[in-house]
């Protein structure tokens, strides 16, 4: 007999993504009182302050506030490349998998995919992919990295690998863009300043609206010249947000107050991963539980992804599908240690039954 009551009155435990985080009361208060202006004219003082703070955090000359991580990554490709250029990407990266093909449809570039180990491309494989000059080949203009890597389980690219890939690219006049949507998760897990992970790349995007809990927005950072061009491309994409200081105010709180607490998310993910690893029928690789994600495979429990998620939802717990048999669970602000233990108990119950 089940030890849980399956009904909608149970507390909702939403582990689908750290994008479901809600802004803090301090963020809401800052948004209410934000000093604003027209950001397209660069006259919004709160946006300007956020961009200066973000650039400093990334060790870059300048930064640009954008609507989303997808927009930030697309702007990087648009700004670095010309139509017909080749861009090297890890084969499971977010820019290739989840950004609606924008780099090809809008930026007009050709992706060249390199398989990685837990999301980390081997510099030797990238070197093999770099072709000599030839009238028949597209120009390889950009290498894109993802840190932390979503589909690999929130895994971290070590700084020495980033440095080696940057050196390799720059020797061939190839630029490096870092999709650092969760770069602060990587920095906190490694106990490093985030600028250590971004010092060699030519541009970096990070999200304010994931683990840092701001309601909207991401940052693109790089050189002053790059950001000036990106700002114009943002306008072309319809990304001029006018009195955006209302949103930027929450981003400032995110950077000043919400970074260190990511350790709590990492701790909870580790508890979750270790707890699920002890359940017969659940398969996962604890080596990938490095930050705030846990990927589990339910095939040995006799279920596919959607069957498992349907059972989980009966207990008002939500996860993300990774078909055919995998599920992603993400810890974040608003998820407590108690929620983690509840989730472990529920999954044990589902598998047992």
Domains of the chain: 13-21+261-352 (3.90.1150.10), 25-257 (3.40.640.10)
Cα 50-36-206 angle, rounded to 5 deg:
25
Query: Would you state the pLDDT for residue 353?
Result: 86
pLDDT band at 10 (very low <50, low <70, confident <90, very high): confident
Q: What is the pLDDT of residues 258-268, one digit of tens each?
A: 999 999 999 99
- Percent of the chain at pLDDT exceeding 70: 98
Q: What is the pLDDT of residue 9?
A: 72
- Where residue 18 falls (left for φ over 0; alpha for ψ -120 to 50; beta otherwise) is alpha
Q: Of 340, 99, 51, 108, give the one whose Cα is nearest residue 222.
A: 51
End-to-end Cα spacing for the chain: 9
CB proximity list for 264: less than 8 A, separation 6 or greater? none
Return mean pLDDT, the chain: 96
Global pTM reads 0.95
Residues 185-235: tens digit of each pLDDT = 999 999 999 999 999 999 999 999 999 999 999 999 999 999 999 999 999
**In the predicted model, what is the mean pLDDT of residues 332-349?**
98
Non-local (6+) Cβ contacts of 158 within 8 A are: 120, 190
Buried b (16+ CB within 10 A) or exposed e, 8-24: eeeeebbbbbbebbebb
Alpha-carbon span 292 to 15, nearest angstrom: 10
- 149 pLDDT exceeds 50? yes
**278: pLDDT strictly greater than 50:** yes
Q: Kindly state the average pLDDT of the residues 147-159.
A: 98
Distance CA 353, CA 348 (A): 9
Q: Per-residue pLDDT for 121 more than 90?
A: yes
Query: Is 6 a residue whose pLDDT tops 80?
Result: no
Q: Is pLDDT above 70 for 1?
A: no
What's the confidence (pLDDT) of residue 4? 52
Contact 24, 208 (CB under 8 A): no
Virtual torsion, Cα 307, 312, 317, 323, nearest 10 deg: -30
pLDDT in tens, 20-62: 999 999 999 999 999 999 999 999 999 999 999 999 999 999 9
pLDDT confidence band for 2 (50 / 70 / 90): very low
Q: Number of helices and strands (H, E) in the chain?
A: 14, 14
């Amino acid at each position: 007999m089940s030890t849980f009551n399956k009904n909608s009155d149970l507390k909702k435990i939403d582990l689908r993504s750290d994008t479901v985080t809600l802004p803090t009361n301090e963020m809401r208060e800052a948004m209410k009182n934000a000093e604003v202006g027209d950001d397209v004219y660069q006259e919004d003082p709160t946006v300007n302050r956020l961009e200066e703070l973000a650039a400093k955090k990334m060790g870059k000359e300048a930064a640009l506030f954008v609507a989303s991580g997808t927009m930030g990554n697309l702007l990087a490709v648009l700004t670095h490349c010309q139509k017909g250029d080749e861009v090297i990407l890890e084969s499971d990266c977010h820019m290739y998998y989840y950004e609606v093909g924008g780099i090809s449809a809008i930026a007009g570039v050709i992706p060249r995919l390199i398989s990685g180990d837990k999301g980390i491309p081997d510099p030797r494989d990238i070197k093999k992919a770099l072709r000599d000059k030839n009238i028949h080949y597209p120009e390889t203009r950009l290498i894109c990295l993802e840190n932390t890597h979503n589909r690999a389980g929130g895994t971290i690219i070590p700084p020495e690998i980033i440095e080696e890939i940057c050196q390799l690219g720059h020797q061939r006049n190839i630029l490096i863009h870092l999709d650092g949507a969760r770069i602060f998760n990587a920095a906190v897990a490694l106990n490093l300043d985030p600028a250590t992970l971004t010092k060699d790349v030519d541009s970096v995007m990070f999200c304010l609206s994931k683990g840092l809990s701001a309601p909207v927005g991401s940052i693109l950072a790089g050189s002053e010249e790059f950001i000036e061009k990106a700002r114009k491309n943002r306008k072309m994409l319809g990304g001029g947000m006018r009195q955006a200081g209302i949103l930027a105010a929450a981003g400032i709180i995110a950077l000043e107050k919400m970074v260190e607490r990511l350790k709590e998310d990492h701790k909870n993910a580790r508890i979750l991963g270790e707890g699920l690893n002890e359940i017969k029928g659940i398969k996962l690789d604890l080596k990938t539980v490095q930050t705030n994600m846990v990927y589990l495979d339910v095939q040995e429990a006799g279920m596919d992804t959607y069957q498992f998620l349907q059972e989980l939802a009966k207990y008002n717990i939500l996860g993300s599908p990774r078909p055919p048999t995998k599920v992603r669970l993400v810890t974040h602000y608003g998820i407590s240690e108690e929620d983690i233990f509840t989730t472990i108990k529920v999954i044990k119950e589902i598998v047992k039954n």
